[in-house]
Amino acid sequence: MSETSSYLAEAREAFNLACPSKEPVSLFSQRQWDDALCANVLQELINSSTSAKDRARLLAVSTRESSYWLQALPSKHIGTLLDHLTLTITVGLRLGARIQQPHLCHCGETVDVYGHHSLACAKSAGRFSRHASLNGVIRRSLVTAKVPAVLEPNGLARSDGKRPDGMTLVPWKQGRSLVWDATCVDTLALSHIQVTSVAAGTAATKAERAKRRKYENIENNFIFVPFGVETMGSWGEDARSFFKDLRSA
């Protein structure tokens, strides 16, 4: 016969008060007890947020994909080791912490203590490295799944004459190669805040739809996937679906 702690009844009562009807099926799963309480804390944070920016940030950082990077094995050789400053800024941005001194950006806008302007600034060099890193990760993931792929393939043009970001050299599905185009949009940009403060990933999904329109002409010969992500870590619908396919490839 198993022993029962004399505090069990009291603990259950306190838990049920905080999380009505959420008691775990398995009393011995610490994860299940914690999940219900963490969901409560998150909801309280979202409900008490005082600005659309805070709400959008909380919604985005609480998506599953926004924390994938925390599960990556830190390795210098495969590019997953973050230096101290990068890690500090990354965590600070997600927490909405004060991470820098206010100053004037060379675009003329004021950069506040939270550092969000740099994520949306049209003159920020970070936009290019984010885009390049994103495509590098997609290509390496395909290669790891034994699907050789190249970046910026020649001979394929979208409606505005630009090239897609990448293409597989072997068929991906239905005898057709995969062509992808990736984009990273800012969750907190003025142009997106109206939708991102309501649901996570909506700016990325919107960007993916815009990409689909630009690539309408190649969809008959290729499987086209727009891969939209946001600066606060949430992904678009197509990116999530492609990632699922890639995991089972």
* Binding track over 89-108 against Zn ion, x by CB under 5 A: ----------------x-x-
Interface with Zn ion, residue 127, by CB under 5 A: no
> What tokens does 125 get?
């060099």
Considering the complex, state which of residue 121 and residue 178 has its C-beta at the smaller distance from Zn ion. 121
Interface with Zn ion, residue 121, by CB under 5 A: yes
Q: CA 199, 192, 159, 181 torsion: positive or negative?
A: negative
Interface with Zn ion, residue 37, by CB under 5 A: no
Residues 182 and 202: their CA atoms lie apart, in Å, by 15
In the bound complex, what is the minimum distance in angstroms from residue 104's beta carbon to Zn ion?
Answer: 9
In the bound complex, what is the minimum distance in angstroms from residue 109's beta carbon to Zn ion?
Answer: 5
Considering the complex, state which of residue 24 and residue 115 has its C-beta at the smaller distance from Zn ion. 115
In the bound complex, what is the minimum distance in angstroms from residue 34's beta carbon to Zn ion?
Answer: 41
In the bound complex, what is the minimum distance in angstroms from residue 99's beta carbon to Zn ion?
Answer: 16
Interface with Zn ion, residue 109, by CB under 5 A: yes
DSSP H helical ranges for the chain:
8-18, 30-47, 52-61, 84-95, 117-120, 126-144, 190-196, 202-214, 237-247
- Counting residues that bind Zn ion (by CB under 5 A) gives 4
Interface with Zn ion, residue 27, by CB under 5 A: no
Interface with Zn ion, residue 35, by CB under 5 A: no
Phi, psi of 216 (to 5 degrees): -50, -35
> What tokens does 216 get?
């309408």
Residues 186 and 188: their CA atoms lie apart, in Å, by 5
Considering the complex, state which of residue 42 and residue 111 has its C-beta at the smaller distance from Zn ion. 111
In the bound complex, what is the minimum distance in angstroms from residue 112's beta carbon to Zn ion?
Answer: 12
Interface with Zn ion, residue 184, by CB under 5 A: no
Going by C-beta distance under 8 Å and a sequence separation of 6 or more, which residues neighbour residue 87? none
Query: Are the C-beta atoms of residues 215 and 186 closer than 8 Å to each other?
Result: no
Only one residue has tokens 């409900």, namely: 47
Residues in touch with Zn ion (CB under 5 A):
105, 107, 109, 121
